[in-house]
Amino acid sequence: MDKKYILMDEVIHHKKLANGLNVYIHPKPKFIQTFASLYVNFGGRDFTYRIEEEDFTLPKGTAHFLEHMLFENNDELLSGVFLDNNADLNAFTSRRLTSYYFSTKNNFSLLLDKLLDNFIDFNFSEKTIKKEAKIISQELSMNDDSDSTKAYKSLVRLMYKDSSIYEDIGGTKTSIKEINQEVLSQAVNHFYHPENMMLLVSGNVKPEEVITQLESHNFMKKEWPAFKSIKRMTDLSDKTIHRKKKFDKKLETNLVEVGIKVPESLFIDNPQKHYMLIDPFLEMMFNPASKLYKVLKKKNLYNHSLTVSPVYDGDYSFINISMETKKSKSFIKTILELIQELPTITFSEKYFLAYLRAEIGRSIKSFDDVKDSHSLIESLLIMEIDIANYFSLKREITLEDFRPYQEIFKKENIYIVEYLKRP
């Protein structure tokens, strides 16, 4: 087992088990809770993929559907034993992966065994599939019931040709009707393999004991077939239409979504560097003390609904500015003027150094909470950031690193969606 220190008293142990499962353990002996997450490299984007030169398809929403089904695999309610032990068990599906996670104060070993038991044999009854389809349908209706979500989705659809980027992770009410035993079986066979999974444990555990337990579990003993790697392709080519308006008489206020595409060249060769830079860059550009906020406030165009956030999902990246405002026309005019000035602005060294200190402080603080540190390590592992160098990578960021990011604020990278209240 190898180990890496992320802080002087915070160490992450790692071992790749014989069946290919990568296990990471972050012991926090002074805390009473333990968090465990099992990640499967299978997400909402995986409805078309290639294995050994053969193309495969799945109905949209299969990864999310399977996540629901895993709670009733082999006609057994997975949550039962977790509830009996007052543990919180849950799961989520993102565009890139599915995560099954639990937190507990009691009987961690028993619960870890139970979680892994569920990933050995897969058997889903048609009755359960039908029941889950109804619940997922409710979930999809909820997602469709938000105007701001609709506007955001329109923006992503305007920016990208690739449907794996803009399609709903849960699929559609039509696509989930196509999901049956055969579909789920294909998904399980292609994606649910230890080599395509990762386990992260944080909390009150001893790393050696966890590894010993895992090595004797049936999940390890099972004879898994050789894993065939999965190839995905993302089309990031430019789209010609950059602006879209939609009128809706049911709206109360206009919605504005602005997207600024980050060119592939900034993350394709060094995604780790992009991950480390995108947040600090945005913070320097768009914090509440920045010129952008000041001008918006001065022109009475600011309100609390304004958000600026980075989107980075490994194979595409953009900056999203979102606002609900009655003054959408003036807001768009001003924000376009402001962001197109960004390539020429000079950052203050004083504010930048202060920001770096703040970032270091915030990262240290996250180790005061098992859940927060678990999330931090999770994102570092998913992004394949070297844990031992995380803090030094942060300290090494310079203003010069932001230069190419300033250049992205050009007309050809900017997309705008307006959802307007019909008079």
Partner 1 sequence: MKIVKREILGIDLYYVPIKKFKTIEAFFVFTNEVDPTTFNEKNFLTEILLDSTNKYPSTENLKLVCDNLYGLSKVNHYHFEGNLDITMFIISSVSDKYLGEEKIFSQAFDVLLEIIYNPKTYKGLIPKKTVKEKLMQTQELLSSLKQNKNAYSYYQFMRTYTRNNTDHITFFPETKYLDQVTHKTINETYQKMINEDRLQIFIGGDFDFEEMDELIKSKINRIKIHESKSFTFKNHFNPATEINEVIDNTSTGQTRIFIGYDLGFPHTQKSATIMSLFNELFGAFENSKLFTNIREKLNLSYYVYSYYSPGNDLFFVNLETSKENREKAVKEVAKQLLDCQNGLIEDELFNQAKKNLINRLETSVDSQYKLLIYNVIDFIRYNEPFDLEKRKKAIENIKKTELIDLIKTIKIDTVYIYT
CB of 7 to partner 1, least distance (A): 8
Site for partner 1 in 71-130 (CB under 8 A): 79, 83-84, 86, 105-106
The Cα–Cα gap between 114 and 9 comes to 31
End-to-end CA distance of the chain: 66
Structure tokens at 207: 């790393």
Q: Does 370 sit near partner 1 (CB under 8 A)? A: yes
Site for partner 1 in 204-243 (CB under 8 A): none
- Mark the segment that binds partner 1 (CB under 8 A) among 113-121, 179-187, 270-278, 322-330: 322-330
Q: Does 302 sit near partner 1 (CB under 8 A)? A: yes
Helix (H) or strand (E) holding 319: strand 317-325
Contacts of 151 (CB under 8 A, 6+ apart): 255, 256, 257, 322, 417, 419
Q: Does 418 sit near partner 1 (CB under 8 A)? A: no
Q: Does 340 sit near partner 1 (CB under 8 A)? A: no
Smaller CB separation from partner 1, 39 or 302: 302
Smaller CB separation from partner 1, 52 or 252: 252
Q: Does 355 sit near partner 1 (CB under 8 A)? A: yes
By CB under 8 A, name the one of 18, 135, 233, 268 that touches partner 1. 135
Looking at 212-277, which runs of residues are DSSP E strands?
230-231, 243-248, 254-261
Helix (H) or strand (E) holding 325: strand 317-325
* DSSP states along 389-409: GHHHHHHT--GGGGHHHHTT-
Query: Which strand ranges, in their side-by-side order, compose the sheet holding 243-248?
Result: 243-248, 414-421, 254-261, 317-325, 307-312
Smaller CB separation from partner 1, 236 or 251: 251
CB of 222 to partner 1, least distance (A): 29
Q: Is the CB of residue 387 less than 8 Å from the CB of residue 301?
A: no
**Alpha carbon distances (Å) from 230 to 55, 57, 131, 367:** 10, 12, 30, 35
Binding mask 4-43 for partner 1 (x = CB under 8 A): ---x----------------------xxxx----------
Q: Does 324 sit near partner 1 (CB under 8 A)? A: yes
- Mark the segment that binds partner 1 (CB under 8 A) among 220-228, 289-297, 307-315, 338-346: 289-297
CB of 296 to partner 1, least distance (A): 11
Contacts of 162 (CB under 8 A, 6+ apart): 234, 235, 236, 316
Helix (H) or strand (E) holding 100: strand 98-104
Kindly list the residues in this chain that would bind partner 1 in the complex (CB under 8 A): 7, 30-33, 79, 83-84, 86, 105-106, 131, 134-135, 138-139, 141-142, 144-148, 250-253, 255, 287-289, 293, 297, 300, 302-305, 324-326, 350-351, 354-355, 357-362, 364-365, 367-370
